[in-house]
Amino acid sequence: MPPKALARAGPSSPGDPVATVWRSPELLGRIGSFLDPNPTAWSFIHVNKAAAAAFNSNGQLLPRTVSLHWLLGSGLLATPEGRAHARAMCYRLTLKQRVRLLCLSAAAGCTLESLGAAVAAAGLSPPPVEVLVAAASAGRLAECRWLVEELGCPCLHRLACLCLLSAAGTAGVAEEALAWLEPGAKEGWSEEQVAKAATGDPRSLAPYNELELPERNFQSIFWWSEKLSRVADRRDLERIFADQQLPWSPLTGSPEFYLGPYTAQAVARLAGVSPAALRPHMLQAAATAGHREAVRHLLQRGVLPDNMTTPDVHAARGGHLGVLQALHEAGCVRDPAGCFKAALKAGSLPVVSWLVETFGAPALQAGRLSQPDAARSGSLALMEALPGLLVEEPQWHTHADCVWPHVAASGCEAAADWLAARGAKGPNADLFGDCSSRAHW
């Protein structure tokens, strides 16, 4: 389970003396060595009066986990014990999950010391550009400066960063960001372009955010543009829901329409769209967001995939089993093998298992060539379950040369150690093993 799936149990009220004691780093130092680190969702047990009185139907105490937001704000990551637990958690996280952890940390407003501890635990130094983009979209100017100036975070797009910081709406941030970034002087943008970015309106950058600068690369442009587009869609939805007179149907093709605070109203909104205005891209957007009810509604109204959309593959890639089942009931899983490959790479064991049970391994082209895709996911659960899913027993040691690069790309140290323990000794196995011990992926 990635960090975003941690339980959303926030801290107790500041006046609760019991909660204050259990938040104490000194107490954690005394009991930390006796706690078993949870490799899939690291959490410190946060004991308070409500949790102590909670029992399940068998009379057993219910576990109480803290949210990542509470954890980052508690200062525990800045303690030696906290860093040890964070490192133990990251041992089983993939590169994608580690980046997600750092993005959440950068956007949470924790201390720079805690953010630095998270970076060290993730083993990603300098942090990738996604972390900088996450900090900017949350209006965290201090974190942005620290990531760039102290940790050397790459791919700073000054104009896009200014726009995201301004869009967050934090008082005084736009002026400070402009003074720090100086996109006109340092990247050559015109006064008009800088002024539009400072307004915080991502739509104003539409003509500019794809421009190539001498030091710019595709990765930099992609992450900044993708975040600008999502922020723009979100702002449009906020305006539309605040003013019922504004047209909202054009946004039904954006995944943002089916996420967050708009999830519950998505189906009702779609019901108001005339049949002539329904399009396949709406089905794909709902499938990408994992909104099963919206997918069912669109299918019932006759919306089917066309040659330009692949909602089945998008659902499989996102691990949205319910959506994939709804598409199958309507006869809209057109590429089972593509879904299987996407689910393998995503490490979604429930989707992979359902596909094998529904279509059979031969129809999914499941076999020896599935091993690299499973390895690329970095999911130990999936790799361990593979023998029962494939027509043939996976021979990890026989195909080590093609599997090792995929395991390394996943960024999961535990998966690398698991593969090495099964005799998969490729020419670079020692190198990968050394990397796994130091988390330098």
pLDDT in tens, 92-118: 889 999 999 899 999 988 889 989 999
Query: What percent of the chain shows pLDDT beyond 70?
Result: 73
pLDDT of residue 408: 86
Q: At what angle do helices 191-198 and 158-167 cross, to 10 degrees?
A: 30
For residue range 54-95, list pLDDT tens digits in order.
444 444 444 444 456 667 777 778 888 888 888 888 888 899
Contact (CB, 8 A) for 163 and 202: yes
HEC-encoded secondary structure of 128-159: CHHHHHHHHHCCCHHHHHHHHHCCCCCCCCHH
pTM exceeds 0.85:
no
8 has a pLDDT exceeding 50: no
Residue with tokens 């490192």: 87
Contact (CB, 8 A) for 351 and 319: yes
Dihedral over alpha carbons 247, 306, 350, 227 (to 10 degrees): -40
d(CA 175, CA 180): 9
For 55, list phi and psi in degrees, rounded to 5. -130, 150
Dihedral over alpha carbons 114, 4, 223, 246 (to 10 degrees): -120
Domains located in the chain, CATH noted: 1-93 (no CATH), 126-245 (no CATH), 247-334 (1.25.40), 356-441 (no CATH)
For residue range 425-434, list pLDDT tens digits in order.
654 544 444 4
Could you check whether the bond before residue 80 is cis, i.e. omega within 30 degrees of 0?
Answer: no
6 has a pLDDT exceeding 50: no
Give the lowest-confidence range in 39-43, 108-112, 267-271, 348-352.
39-43
Q: Each residue of 328-359: b (16+ CB within 10 Å) or e? A: bebebbeebebbbbbbbbbbbbebbbbbbeeb
In a 3-state reduction of DSSP, which class is residue 359?
A: helix
d(CA 183, CA 179): 9
pLDDT of residue 440: 37
- pLDDT band at residue 34 using 50, 70 and 90 as cut-offs: very low
d(CA 407, CA 417): 10
For residue range 372-426, list pLDDT tens digits in order.
888 889 998 898 888 888 766 666 666 667 788 888 889 899 888 888 887 766 5
| Long-range CB contacts (within 8 A, 24+) of 247-255 | 249/273, 249/277, 252/282, 252/285, 253/279, 253/281, 253/282, 253/285, 254/285, 255/285, 255/286, 255/288, 255/289
Closest CA relative to residue 181, chosen from 204, 197, 202, 201: 197
- Cα 110 to Cα 74, 283, 380, distances in angstroms: 8, 38, 31
Q: Each residue of 268-283: b (16+ CB within 10 Å) or e? A: ebbeebeeeebbbbbb
Report how many helices (DSSP H) and strands (DSSP E) the chain contains, helices first. Answer: 26, 0
**CB atoms inside a 10 Å sphere around CB 22:** 22
pLDDT of residue 212: 54
Residue 325: partners with Cβ closer than 8 Å, 6 or more residues away: 354
Residue with tokens 């959506």: 323
pLDDT of residue 237: 82
For 216, list phi and psi in degrees, rounded to 5. -80, 145
| Averaged pLDDT score across all residues of the chain | 79
21 has a pLDDT exceeding 60: no
- Pick 216 or 309 by higher pLDDT: 309
- pLDDT band at residue 45 using 50, 70 and 90 as cut-offs: very low
Dihedral over alpha carbons 411, 414, 416, 420 (to 10 degrees): 180
Helices (H), ranges, 259-369: 266-271, 280-289, 292-300, 311-317, 321-329, 336-346, 349-359
Give the CA count within 13 Å in the CB-facing half-sphere of 71. 28
Token code pair at residue 73:
């704000």
pLDDT of residue 421: 83
Give the lowest-confidence range in 56-60, 186-190, 260-264, 315-319.
56-60
Give the lowest-confidence range in 87-101, 108-122, 133-147, 206-220.
206-220
Residue 365: partners with Cβ closer than 8 Å, 6 or more residues away: 337, 340
